[in-house]
A and B are shown apart, each in its own frame.
Chain A
Amino acid sequence: MMNSRLIDSLEKCIKSMEAGDSLEDCLMNFPEFAPQIRELLKTADDVKSLWVENIPAESMDQNRIKVISQAMRLSSEKVSGRNNATFGWLTKPVKQVSQSLLFLRPVAGRLILSIGIAFLCILFSGGMLITSAKSLPGDSLYPVKRAVEDIRVYFAPSGEVRHEYEDSYSKQRVDEVSKLLRLAREQQISYEGIIVSMSDTRWIVSGIPVALLPDTIIISGTEGINALEPGMKVEIEGKTSMDGWVIADEIHLREYQYIGIVEEISARYWQISGTTLFVTSKTQVDAGLQVGDEVTILIRSEDKGLLALAVLREMHPIITSTNSQLPSITPRPNKYSTAENTVEFSINGTLDEIRVNYWIISGEVIFLVSDSRIDNHLKIGDKVSVRYFIEANGSFTAREIARIENSDKPEDNDIQETPNATGDYEDQDDSFIDPTEVDEPEDNNEPDDPEETPEPPKDDQDPN
């Protein structure tokens, strides 16, 4: 049986010791419990030795950044969900109709849907069309945009105009992916582009950095990935990530060429060196080709099979879209930057924003990598000096960010660019990403194995 007076006395002693009284002074007030309380207070003293006074400011700062990033990401998800709810009245019936059209041939179903949407658009004036033209994958109006494009392609007055439309829309897909990456939005995407460069896991396709994972599927005929090389047109299916990469799920080789022997010729398909190719009225075929001739074939890989764009007697030069000018690389944060960049610049400015993988200093975006050295406890508004180098993709990566101790100097607001030893200034004006377009920083917070952690307490209930 517990003695309530003993319990009260213990608490009073703990309180008076916290107030600065000595153990013996406390015990004098409760002589009848002195032996028990003495032992318990010593134990309490032992336990108090585990207390830590100092909070590591650096880890607190880092955690604050992570938490705010996470909050902003969740907040944007919330807004996106709200937008979906706003247009739910429209998207839901459209989805139902499109599902009911599934039994039709995909193209026919899509066309009927497109015509229906076009009719609605005419009814509701051109406002929605204009609005949808700016939409991105994942937006409520994006299906409208794609449907309108389909209609324009279908009703194109000539084949030439149709090709122009298709090329233009293909470029739009690339632009959309670029915008998603700049906005750091995670979204399932698909686009066609030209391979600019290839390494084992990092490709540049039409200026967009693409990351290949071990489970990325590459569909490129019998030769697999070896068949792919820079200059080829591929379709990338994957997901945009917050750190500026497209994570590829599938890569389809779209257009390529090979040399073979004609084995069989019919009205609908040709067999060339064991490969069956579909031909249409648009396929360019050299006159007089016969079985046994050696030919160069330009192939487009379609979902229904391989379509021959051209079958040409061997030795003909082929001019294809795969020879088009390589696109420029869009400036992106380069998390894989190395110390190879030896040309160094510096600026002095005011720290405007702190994001996870980049900071904005006097309006300039400076990316951070693991090697970047940063003064402790920097905060927004501090005057800082930045030493940085320019990545191959045009972005700026910090080597060192240091506080300027005497920040009252009037030149602090003027960005001072210091060239390297050779006096070179790189052309950097166009290479910055517009900071207003980069709203959602990376989220690095991945909880540990959720299966091993219980649910947080319901609310204010005792978890025990």
Chain B
Amino acid sequence: MLYCQSLGTYNKIGFHALRVYQLLMTDTYSELDGLTSLDPIVITAIHDRYYPDIYRFARFRVGDECTAEDIAGEVFVRLLEAVHNSRGPVTNLRGWLLRTTANIVNDHFRRLYNRPIDDPSEIHENSRDLFLSPEDPVVLSDQAEQKRLIRLALEKLTDAQKLVITLRFGNRFSLEETAKLMGKNANTIKALQYRALVSLRKNIGSDI
């Protein structure tokens, strides 16, 4: 129900919502145009469209929920700064965002490995699950350990292999989408995926 006092506000909000909806329906070039002008509506639409991909990518690699949130936030900060300095993406926004995410994740692990005291292999799974889940803590703990070992094995892959595995299994992108995001052809991605899985199998086996 609308009342006189809030009618203007409601219409304004409705108009914004319509614009966001329209934007979500249009292609990436409209996003890039709006991004360049730092239009808050476009930024909102871009954020809401790509945040899940970025978060999933980061969470797949680092495991910890808070770290993944921080990384996702940092990606958008870098996007805005890059746009502000006229160094932003030109054609493929999603690709730019995910590659930036990959870079920040790599930085994260570099810092983790350079830390003098901690064990470098200590890639923490989200420990909150152990306390909040109704499931058996022992089972959860085993699952967390298993995930930790998989991530450890994942970090031993080459950067390209890590990217393929993360995009394919962490973000559930198709082969074609992954190829487009990485700027390679589908056959190359297939080969990279094969090699990555072979290496992972070996690494997981040796770690376990």
Roughly how many angstroms separate A464 CA and B164 CA in the complex, as a whole number?
Answer: 12
15 more CB-based (< 8 A) A-B contacts, given A63-B73, A67-B76: A4-B187, A47-B197, A50-B169, A55-B51, A60-B55, A63-B47, A66-B76, A74-B80, A74-B81, A74-B84, A350-B6, A381-B10, A452-B107, A459-B91, A464-B160
Q: Are B169 and A67 in contact (CB under 8 A)?
A: no
B155 at the interface (CB under 8 A from A): no
List the A side residues contacting B193 at CB < 8 Å.
Answer: 7, 10-11, 14
Partner pick for A460 among B47, B63, B95, B147, CB 8 A cutoff: B95
- Contact status of A64 and B9, CB under 8 A, knowing A71-B80, A77-B84, A463-B102: no
Q: Are A452 and B84 in contact (CB under 8 A)?
A: no
Which residues of chain B in 73-125 are interfacial with respect to chain A, using CB atoms and an 8 Å cutoff?
73-74, 76-84, 87, 89-92, 95-96, 99-100, 102-104, 106-107, 110-111
A-B contact count (CB 8 A): 191
Q: Are B170 and A51 in contact (CB under 8 A)?
A: yes
Which residues of chain A in 18-74 are interfacial with respect to chain B, using CB atoms and an 8 Å cutoff?
18, 39-40, 42-44, 46-52, 55-56, 59-60, 63-64, 66-68, 70-72, 74
A375 at the interface (CB under 8 A from B): no
Q: Are B172 and A63 in contact (CB under 8 A)?
A: no
How many Å from the CB of A72 to the closest CB on chain B? 6
List the A side residues contacting B51 at CB < 8 Å.
Answer: 55, 60, 63-64
Q: Are B96 and A70 in contact (CB under 8 A)?
A: no
A447 at the interface (CB under 8 A from B): yes
16 contacting pairs across A/B (C-beta < 8 A)? A4-B187, A8-B190, A51-B169, A56-B69, A60-B52, A63-B69, A64-B48, A72-B40, A74-B38, A413-B3, A448-B74, A456-B96, A459-B89, A459-B91, A459-B96, A464-B159
- Contact status of A445 and B73, CB under 8 A, knowing A43-B197, A350-B6: yes
List the A side residues contacting B89 at CB < 8 Å.
Answer: 459-460
List the A side residues contacting B72 at CB < 8 Å.
Answer: 59, 63
List the B side residues contacting A74 at CB < 8 Å.
Answer: 38, 80-81, 83-84
Q: Are B76 and A43 in contact (CB under 8 A)?
A: no
A380 at the interface (CB under 8 A from B): yes
B23 at the interface (CB under 8 A from A): no
A288 at the interface (CB under 8 A from B): no
Q: Are A7 and B190 in contact (CB under 8 A)?
A: yes
Q: Are B169 and A48 in contact (CB under 8 A)?
A: yes
Q: Are A71 and B99 in contact (CB under 8 A)?
A: no
Q: Are B59 and A52 in contact (CB under 8 A)?
A: yes
B31 at the interface (CB under 8 A from A): no
- Contact status of A78 and B197, CB under 8 A, knowing A50-B147, A381-B9, A452-B111: no
How many Å from the CB of B159 to the closest CB on chain A? 4
6 tightest Cβ-Cβ pairs between the two chains A and B: A75-B38, A464-B159, A43-B201, A59-B69, A74-B84, A40-B197
Which residues of chain A in 429-458 are interfacial with respect to chain B, using CB atoms and an 8 Å cutoff?
445, 447-448, 452-454, 456-458
Q: Which single residue of chain A is at the shortest CB-CB distance from B189?
A: A11
List the A side residues contacting B150 at CB < 8 Å.
Answer: 46-47, 49-50
Q: Are A40 and B194 in contact (CB under 8 A)?
A: yes
A319 at the interface (CB under 8 A from B): no
Q: Which residues of A contact B (CB under 8 A)?
A: 2, 4, 6-8, 10-11, 14-15, 18, 39-40, 42-44, 46-52, 55-56, 59-60, 63-64, 66-68, 70-72, 74-75, 77-78, 350, 352, 362, 380-381, 408, 410, 412-414, 445, 447-448, 452-454, 456-464
Q: Are B13 and A381 in contact (CB under 8 A)?
A: yes
- Contact status of A462 and B65, CB under 8 A, knowing A50-B169, A64-B48, A78-B38: no
List the B side residues contacting A456 at CB < 8 Å.
Answer: 78-79, 82, 87, 96, 99-100, 103
Roughly how many angstroms separate A452 CA and B111 CA in the complex, as a whole number?
Answer: 8
Roughly how many angstroms separate A43 CA and B100 CA in the complex, as a whole number?
Answer: 27
How many Å from the CB of A85 to the closest CB on chain B? 15
Roughly how many angstroms separate A89 CA and B69 CA in the complex, as a whole number?
Answer: 46
List the A side residues contacting B111 at CB < 8 Å.
Answer: 452
Which residues of chain B in 30-52 are interfacial with respect to chain A, using CB atoms and an 8 Å cutoff?
37-38, 40, 43-44, 47-48, 51-52
B25 at the interface (CB under 8 A from A): no
List the B side residues contacting A410 at CB < 8 Å.
Answer: 1, 3
List the B side residues contacting A362 at CB < 8 Å.
Answer: 5-6
Q: Are B183 and A461 in contact (CB under 8 A)?
A: yes
How many Å from the CB of A1 to the closest CB on chain B? 12
Q: Are B80 and A67 in contact (CB under 8 A)?
A: yes
List the B side residues contacting A459 at CB < 8 Å.
Answer: 89-91, 96
How many Å from the CB of B137 to the closest CB on chain A? 18
- Contact status of A67 and B47, CB under 8 A, knowing A350-B6, A457-B99: yes
Q: Are A457 and B84 in contact (CB under 8 A)?
A: no
Partner pick for B40 among A68, A452, A453, A454, CB 8 A cutoff: A68
Partner pick for A52 among B43, B56, B160, B190, CB 8 A cutoff: B56
Q: Are A408 and B1 in contact (CB under 8 A)?
A: yes
Q: Which single residue of chain A is at the shortest CB-CB distance from B100?
A: A456
Roughly how many angstroms separate A78 CA and B111 CA in the complex, as a whole number?
Answer: 34
Q: Are A55 and B1 in contact (CB under 8 A)?
A: no
